[in-house]
């Protein structure tokens, strides 16, 4: 039943030979790997305006200078990451660059930062998407947690269906969002240009109001949410069709141009139309701006629908990047090996499911609140930016390939600017929640090292290096113990199997009813009198404890290398029929699973009864 349900959800499995066909063309990769960055324009302007509006209405005049500074930073980071793509076309981004050039621990810090960033990407995107939906339909506000759960589950299932299929489905909403926002910006600018709309404030101020430096830095650090997600293309170059580096760099340029123009256009319109953040959080800046520009007609609901879709689908970037990065860490033995395995649809299914579960926990913990999650967001992003660019500087100094001087200037400038921004964000956002990420990153890095230490210890313990190979493998001395609940066909099959693998076979029976025991012994003498049967007393009516105690007693008496416990188990025709029977076999396996020198196996007898 589970297999049929799985096929229904994610479709038929793909062969390994199909892997090359799962690579993405540029137009699909732009939608899949840039949806996070594109979606940030839906809330980045609002994040700039919130601290400014709290100070004063006049302070909101600084929104455009702050936005221009952020757009400039976007250009610097984009050029720097294009250098990274050229040097490391196989992907891995900040983790690979930092590990190879700055050392293992620097790589682990970058990896931890990126994993946390991807989790927060899902949390922030889903929370912002839910906010967009409830802005248009306030009646749904009380159902925010349920909406968030539904959206995460939908995206999870779509990603489990494979990269090509999810990319095709998610590409169209992304391009529709881009088209509608450009249309909104163009129409809003046209109304201002023709005088149809009167600007609430001049676009360029002759003099800007004095504000505290800390306030300006806080607005800048909040607006840097616009840069989150731009590293996804560098991290996920392995998803591109060949030539990988050329296609990835072209897509990176497209993304940056679209992101910069949309971000500046929305901030400009918000300033010109006098939009201020809703103190109650009930309506987003995008919703207010669309209503002010185009009224509350069909276009308003189209923009809101597209905004909600892109915000929700922005999580898809993380569902592509997180499993890829986790697989690299798993191959290096810093994460469980299961994360390095491809699933039925040639995606890292375990990473996708793990990301969904973690993000859902975070969303519900913060009550689907975008503003509570965003302060956690940018620290890890800019830490990975800084490590990546610093690593590229070292890379150019070591390799000194043609054009390395120009490249080192770009990456050096990128490292410097992102480090400065990291410090600004760390200072201005520390008390608003950034301390959580600062605390979590070292904990995650410590977890990486513990996983690696475990794998090294296991490898050393299992290694045959230094041992002398025997001339011939010898048999293990082992005793077979068969716990029985009576004499039936399943027990007879288990006994026949037991005597075929060992000369020392013993059966045990837990007595709960003396009369039942007498009847069972009569049947035993008839069918299996040659095999010793031990009756175990159980004054407290426990079944598992007497069996485990008996196994321990036999172990101490025989001193064999191994004890094999064979459990006669019947399998019902229908899965729900199992609910009508005891789960003794499962409990015995659980009780012995961590005991040294114990092998537990089941001999199953399949029933036909309906």
562-571 β-sheet, strand order: 533-537, 505-511, 478-484, 562-571, 598-606
- Name the residue among 92, 18, 28, 15 with its Cα closest to residue 240: 28
Number of other residues whose CB lies within 10 A of the CB of residue 11: 14
What three-state secondary structure class fits 484? strand
How would residue 335 be classed by pLDDT, with cut points 50, 70 and 90? Answer: very high
Range from 72-76, 103-107, 340-344 carrying the lowest mean pLDDT: 340-344
- What are the tens digits of pLDDT across the range 462-478? 777 777 777 777 788 88
Kindly report, residue by residue over 184-197, the tens digit of the pLDDT: 999 999 988 888 87
Task: Give the pLDDT of residue 508.
Answer: 94
Buried/exposed code over 121-151 (b: 16+ C-beta within 10 A; e: otherwise): bbbbbbbbbbbbbbbbeeeeeeebeebbeeb
Q: Give yes or no for residue 178 having a pLDDT over 80.
A: yes
- Mean pLDDT, range 250-264, rounded to an integer: 92
Percent of the chain with pLDDT over 90: 22
pTM tops 0.85, yes or no: no
Q: Write down how long the chain is.
A: 610
Q: What is the pLDDT of residues 14-25, one digit of tens each?
A: 666 666 666 788
Q: Which of 252-256, 452-456, 464-468 has the lowest mean pLDDT?
A: 464-468
Q: Give every CB contact of residue 471 below 8 A, 6+ residues apart in sequence.
A: none
- Structure confidence at residue 370 (pLDDT): 64
> Phi, psi at residue 535, to the nearest 5°?
-95, 120
- Local structure of 564: helix, strand or coil: strand
Q: Give the range with max mean pLDDT: 300-314, 346-360, 375-389.
A: 346-360
Average pLDDT, the chain: 84
What's the pLDDT at 371?
Answer: 61
Q: Which helix (H) or strand (E) holds 355?
A: helix 349-365
Burial status of residue 248 (CB atoms within 10 A of its CB: 0-12, 13-18, 19 or more): buried
**Residue 282: per-residue pLDDT:** 67
Give mean pLDDT, residues 99-117: 91
pLDDT tens-digit series, residues 569-582:
888 877 777 777 66
Which range, of 15-29, 44-58, 81-95, 287-301, averages the lowest pLDDT? 15-29
DSSP H or E run through 568: strand 562-571
Label residue 92 by pLDDT band (50, 70, 90). Answer: low
Cα angle, residue 408 at apex, residues 404 and 411 outer, rounded to 5°: 135
C-beta of residue 562 within 8 angstroms of C-beta of residue 475: no
DSSP secondary structure letters along 397-419: HHH--TTHHHHHHHHHHHHHHHH
Confidence (pLDDT) at 388: 87
The encoded tokens of residue 219 equal 């607005």
Q: Which of 86-95, 354-363, 385-394, 415-424 has the lowest mean pLDDT?
A: 86-95
* 518 pLDDT tier (thresholds 50, 70, 90): very high
Check whether the bond before 460 is cis (ω within 30° of 0). no
Distance CA 599, CA 601 (A): 7
Pick the closest to residue 126 from 379, 349, 359, 436 (CA basis): 359
Predicted confidence at residue 281, as pLDDT, reads 63
CA–CA separation, 437 and 117 (whole Å): 9
Instruction: Tokens for 248, please give them.
Output: 């990835």
Strand pairing of 478-484 and 505-511? parallel
Calpha distance 89→81 (Å, rounded): 11
Residue 318, C-beta contacts closer than 8 angstroms, at least 6 positions apart: 36, 118, 119, 121, 122, 125, 355, 359
Determine if residue 529 is left, alpha or beta; phi over 0 gives left, psi from -120 to 50 gives alpha, anything else beta. Answer: alpha
Q: Which residue has the higher pLDDT, 203 or 365?
A: 365
Give one DSSP letter per residue of 23-73, joined into a string: -B-HHHHHHHHHHHHHHGGGTHHHHHHHHHHHH-SGGGGGHHHHHHHHHHH
Q: Supply the pLDDT for residue 412.
A: 87
Q: Which of 39-53, 87-101, 505-519, 584-598 ranks highest by mean pLDDT? A: 505-519
pLDDT for 480 equals 94
Q: Which position has the token pair 């455009």?
A: 64
In the three-class reduction of DSSP (H, G, I as helix; E, B as strand; rest coil), residue 543 is classed as coil
CB atoms within 10 A of CB 599: 13
pLDDT tops 70 at residue 246:
yes
pLDDT at 375: 62
How many whole angstroms separate alpha carbon 347 and alpha carbon 163? Answer: 7
pLDDT at 356: 92
The pLDDT value recorded for residue 262 is 93
Domains of the chain are: 22-453 (1.20.1740.10), 478-606 (3.40.50.620)
- The separation between CA 19 and the C-alpha centre of its own chain, rounded to angstroms, equals 21
């Amino acid at each position: 039943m589970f297999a049929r349900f799985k096929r229904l959800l994610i479709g038929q499995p793909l062969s390994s030979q199909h892997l090359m066909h799962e690579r993405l063309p540029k137009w699909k990769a732009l939608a899949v790997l840039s949806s996070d960055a594109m979606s940030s324009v839906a809330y980045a302007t609002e994040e700039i305006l919130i601290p400014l509006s709290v100070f004063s209405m006049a302070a909101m005049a600084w929104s455009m200078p702050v936005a221009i500074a952020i757009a400039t930073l976007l250009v610097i980071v984009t050029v720097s990451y294009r250098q990274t793509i050229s040097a490391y076309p196989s992907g891995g981004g900040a983790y690979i660059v930092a590990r190879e050039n700055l050392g293992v621990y620097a790589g682990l810090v970058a990896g931890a930062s990126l994993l946390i960033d991807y989790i927060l990407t899902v949390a922030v995107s889903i929370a912002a998407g839910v906010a967009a939906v409830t802005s248009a339909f306030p009646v749904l506000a009380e159902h925010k947690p349920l909406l968030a759960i539904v959206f995460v589950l939908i995206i999870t299932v779509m990603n489990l269906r494979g990269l090509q299929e999810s990319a095709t489905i998610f590409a169209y909403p992304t391009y529709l969002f881009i088209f509608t926002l450009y249309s909104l910006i163009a129409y809003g600018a046209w109304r201002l240009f023709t005088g149809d709309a009167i600007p609430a404030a001049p676009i360029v101020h002759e003099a800007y109001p004095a504000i505290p430096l800390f306030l300006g830095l806080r607005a800048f650090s909040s607006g840097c949410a616009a840069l989150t997600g731009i590293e996804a293309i560098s991290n996920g170059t392995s998803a591109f069709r060949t030539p990988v580096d050329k296609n990835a760099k072209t897509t990176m340029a497209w993304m940056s141009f679209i992101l910069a123009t949309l971000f500046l256009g929305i901030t400009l319109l918000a300033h010109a139309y006098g939009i201020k953040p809703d103190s109650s959080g009930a309506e987003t800046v995008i919703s207010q701006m669309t209503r002010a520009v185009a009224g509350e007609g069909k276009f308003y609901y189209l923009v809101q629908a597209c905004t909600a879709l892109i915000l929700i689908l922005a999580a898809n970037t993380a569902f592509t990047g997180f499993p890829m990065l986790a697989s690299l860490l798993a191959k290096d033995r810093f994460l469980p090996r299961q994360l390095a395995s491809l699933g039925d649809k040639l995606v890292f299914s375990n990473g996708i499911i793990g990301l969904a579960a973690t993000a859902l926990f975070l969303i519900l913990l913060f009550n689907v609140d975008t503003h509570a999650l965003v302060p956690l967001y940018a620290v890890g992003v800019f830490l990975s930016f800084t490590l990546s660019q610093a690593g590229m500087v070292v890379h150019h100094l070591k390799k000194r390939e043609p054009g390395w001087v120009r490249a080192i200037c770009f990456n050096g400038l990128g490292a410097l600017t992102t480090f400065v921004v990291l410090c600004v964000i760390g200072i201005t956002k520390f008390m608003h929640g950034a301390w959580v990420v600062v605390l979590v990153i070292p904990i995650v890095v410590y977890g990486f090292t513990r996983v690696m230490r475990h794998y090294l210890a296991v490898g050393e313990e299992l290694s045959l290096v230094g041992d002398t190979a025997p001339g011939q493998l010898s048999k293990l001395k082992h005793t077979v113990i068969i716990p029985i609940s009576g004499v039936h066909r399943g027990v007879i099959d288990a006994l026949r199997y037991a005597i075929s693998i060992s000369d020392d076979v013993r059966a045990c029976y837990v007595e709960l009813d003396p009369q039942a025991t007498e009847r069972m012994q009569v049947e035993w003498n008839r069918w299996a009198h040659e095999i010793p049967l031990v009756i175990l007393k159980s004054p407290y009516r426990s079944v598992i404890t007497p069996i485990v105690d008996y196994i321990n007693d036999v172990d101490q008496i025989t001193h064999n290398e191994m004890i094999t416990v064979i459990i006669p188990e019947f399998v019902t025709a229908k899965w729900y029929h199992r609910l009508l029977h005891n789960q003794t076999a499962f409990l015995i396996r659980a009780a012995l699973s961590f005991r040294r020198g114990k092998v537990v196996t089941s001999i199953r007898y399949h029933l036909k009864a309906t």
